[in-house]
Amino acid sequence: TRFMTGFSSSLASVSSQLRGVVGLEIHAQIHATSKLFACSRVAFCSPPNSSVAFLDASLPGTLPVLNRRCVEAAVITGLALNCTINRKSLFDRKHYFYADMPAGYQITQQRLPIAVNGSLIYSYFGGRKRNQVLSRCVRIKQIQLEQDSGKSLHDDQRSQTLIDLNRAGVGLMELVMEADMSCGDEAAAAVRELQLILQTLGTCQGNMSEGQLRVDANVSVHCPGEPLGVRTEVKNINSARYVARAIDYEIQRQKKVLENGGIIVNETRAFDSKSGTTIPMRDKEGLQDYRFMPEPNLPPLFVYEDEASVPAGVNPTQVVMIDRLKAELPELPGVRRARMVDQYKILPEHSFTLVNEDGLTEYFERVVRNTKAEPRKVIGWVMKELLGNLNQQSLKLAQSPVSPEALADLLNVLESGHISSSAAKVVFQEMWKAPEKAVEQLVKELDLGLVSDREKLLKICQKVVDTHPEQV
């Protein structure tokens, strides 16, 4: 027994030293009018098989034609993520049989992708009270262009599979994030930051529930300093809030397995949101050999630095130029956050929330523009009163009954000394309920106006004194 106790306690101490190692493979649907190699429309929620080009259905004799917008989206995304853009990249065929992949192969970029060696800086609320903004960096291994597959629905009752090819051939950017993360929170924050960046760039709408952004996690555990453990792949993470849960569950599961003396199997597991656990997926007949082969119908893809580097005989309007795209990059979230702190002297935590919530920065800045009140005062109202109400009633910012101008009005009234700050809070709640009423009107109705006229004040005081002789 002493041996057993010693053994299990040493296992337990091993387990407590085990740390998670998390990498991510993210598929981002490119925001474009048409698909990667065909001119069928990219449509969400269209009737099944209503947006299928001949190529998407793999009709024999069809050939892929590269969509320029998709190349630009990949370059823009690569630039925003500090990647090296490969001036030459190649397309390959990845072969496997599946009903939603009509050609029997996917066109991807296995040998030489369009962008490599980038990085993503992300922040998240950490620390003991989770109110500290912590900053981390994850390396981006590569970004590659590839085709999305169609969708298959298994109808077990009738022993049939229904195929919808609307999604077949839509352009994807596959982003590979190195295993630089250690837990669910970090991974979730990295995903969130990527989502924000892609939405800011306009290269991907990033909606996970609509499948525009799909996250697979590679998870393993090890003791720091020792070699990496066997990893599993976790799929079927269908929303941002499941990213952390799925990964943390898997880390815990692996720790428990090792704690009990077991070993981790290299396998693919699906996240089951109902139970919050990961389940092994159906074994894909052992190791898959994808028989990669260069795509013979697509010559190498060249992108050029600038017009000067475009070779003679090539029409400059027919090529992608990096400097043009660089010049058009919008303000990225990280830059915006820093600017907000710098320009408005607000706290980093507040800046983080402002940039994190869709449209909140714009809201805040509109209020600031329309009011005499200092931004530092405005931020308090936005963080507490506005966000508080929205969260309480599960509303999105766009549904806020109080517009930025209305809030600015309120703050102006407060600044002028016409009402007290506690009164202002009351007025805000009334504004929320009755957005059609102007601030001044509400102040009057509620009789919350501060009196500052000396004469009037004297009269009131006198009245109070007169009506309460005993106290006086």
SS (H, E, C) the chain: CHHHHHHHHHHHHHHHHCEEEEEEEEEEECCCCECCCCCCECCCCCCCCCCCCCCCCCCCCCCCCCCHHHHHHHHHHHHHCCCEECCEECCEEEECCCCCCCCCEEEECCCCCCEEEEEEEEEEEECCCCCEEEEEEEEEEEEEEEECCCEEEEECCCCEEEEECCCCCCEEEEEEEEEEECCHHHHHHHHHHHHHHHHHHCCCCCCCCCCCEEEEEEEEEECCCCCCCCCEEEEEECCHHHHHHHHHHHHHHHHHHHHCCCCCCCCEEEEECCCCEEEECCCCCCCCCCCCEECCCCCCEECECCHHHCCCCCCHHHCCEHHHHHHCCCCCHHHHHHHHHHHHCCCHHHHHHHHHCCCHHHHHHHHHHHCCCCHHHHHHHHHHHHHHHHHHCCCCHHHCCCCHHHHHHHHHHHHCCCCCHHHHHHHHHHHHHCCCCCHHHHHHHHCCCCCCCHHHHHHHHHHHHHHCCCCC
- Counting contacts by CB under 8 A, is residue 161 touching another protein? yes
- Counting contacts by CB under 8 A, is residue 54 touching another protein? yes
Q: Cβ closer to another protein: 88 or 376?
A: 88
Near another protein by CB under 8 A: residue from 43, 57, 183, 426:
57
Q: Cβ closer to another protein: 145 or 419?
A: 145
- Counting contacts by CB under 8 A, is residue 59 touching another protein? yes
Q: Cβ closer to another protein: 266 or 420?
A: 266
Q: Tell me how far, at minimum, the Cβ of 178 lies from another protein, in Å.
A: 23
CA dist 284 and 292 (Å) reads: 18
- Counting contacts by CB under 8 A, is residue 110 touching another protein? no
Per-residue x/- marks for another protein, 280-309, CB under 8 A? ---------x-xxx--xxxx----------
Q: Tell me how far, at minimum, the Cβ of 31 lies from another protein, in Å.
A: 23
56: nearest Cα among 45, 68, 67: 67
- Counting contacts by CB under 8 A, is residue 3 touching another protein? no
- Counting contacts by CB under 8 A, is residue 60 touching another protein? yes
Q: Cβ closer to another protein: 125 or 292?
A: 292
Q: Cβ closer to another protein: 159 or 399?
A: 159
Q: Cβ closer to another protein: 66 or 426?
A: 66
- Counting contacts by CB under 8 A, is residue 112 touching another protein? no
- Counting contacts by CB under 8 A, is residue 196 touching another protein? no
* Overall size of the chain counted in residues: 472
Q: Tell me how far, at minimum, the Cβ of 289 lies from another protein, in Å.
A: 5
Q: Cβ closer to another protein: 59 or 465?
A: 59
> Contacts with another protein: how many residues (CB under 8 A)?
30
Q: Tell me how far, at minimum, the Cβ of 309 lies from another protein, in Å.
A: 21
Which of these segments, 63-71, 259-267, 358-366, 379-387, binds another protein (CB under 8 A)? 63-71
- Counting contacts by CB under 8 A, is residue 316 touching another protein? no
Q: Cβ closer to another protein: 68 or 463?
A: 68
- Counting contacts by CB under 8 A, is residue 99 touching another protein? yes
Question: Within positions 443 to 462, which residues make up the interface with another protein, using CB under 8 A?
Answer: none
Q: Tell me how far, at minimum, the Cβ of 149 lies from another protein, in Å.
A: 13
Q: Cβ closer to another protein: 7 or 98?
A: 98
Q: Can you give the binding site for another protein, defined by CB under 8 A?
A: 54, 57-66, 93, 95, 97, 99, 102-105, 159, 161, 163, 289, 291-293, 296-299
